[in-house]
Amino acid sequence: MKEDLFNHFAQYIKLSDKLKDELSNRVTFQSFRRGEMVHDADQICTTSYFVTKGLLRTYFLKDGKEICEYFSAENEWVNSPRSFMQRKKDIYYIDTLEPTEAFCLNVNDLVYLFEHFPEMERYSRLSMGHLFGHLIERITSLRFTTAREKYDHFCIVYRDIYNRLPLGMIASYLGIAQETLSRIRSEK
């Protein structure tokens, strides 16, 4: 099963046998039930999860309402980024939308890998660049597009998982009312 993890890294860097061994020794495997809390905003996020099976959402609470920030599925990392990097509490919760399996990497182990394997710095830079591009697209979509355009963009970005997501969560992610989303979907 670690081949999925190794294949992910190999998209960005050449993995030496020594780095593979260190990764193998430092990641743990965990399974989560549907609806299980993976990270609570009241805690400092010390673990990043590489999803091998399943679906998670990252969200925050505003006036008691859950606001979806992003979704993570197979072959993606998920954590509360600011909390993970700055080791402070943040606003984000992470829970599972399906039964989920993931490799877990502690922040201290990640720091060790950065310090002992220069290629991990390259991996971080390249993978973060990919994520940064996605976030810029999301901000542009939220600020400068109609509800229909937001939904169309969502369907492209999340084409592999949008049919696995509840409509209310999609509407929350898009920042539109569920009724508006239903109307847009019925017009297609």
Share of the chain above pLDDT 90, in %: 79
**pLDDT, mean of residues 34-54:** 96
User: What is the structure's pLDDT at 29?
Assistant: 97
The pLDDT value recorded for residue 137 is 84
Question: Whole-angstrom Cα distance, residue 49 to residue 36?
Answer: 14
Cβ contacts of 17 within 8 Å, gap of 6 or more? none
- Is residue 188's pLDDT more than 70? no
Residue 1 has pLDDT above 80, yes or no: no
Q: Give, for 164, the enclosing helix (H) or strand (E).
A: none
CB-based contact 19:25 (threshold 8 Å):
no
pLDDT digits (tens, 9 = 90+) for 80-119: 988 998 999 999 999 999 999 999 999 999 999 999 999 9
| Strand-strand pairing, 65-72 and 100-106 | unpaired
Give 119-176 pLDDT, tens digit per residue.
Answer: 998 998 888 887 777 788 888 887 888 999 999 989 998 999 999 999 999 999 999 9
| The predicted structure's pLDDT at residue 142 | 79
* 150 in Cβ contact with 162 (< 8 Å): no
* Whether the predicted model's global pTM rises above the 0.85 cut: yes
> What's the fold here for domain 2-116?
Jelly Rolls (2.60.120)
The percent of residues in the chain predicted with pLDDT above 70, rounded, is: 99
pLDDT of residue 187: 87
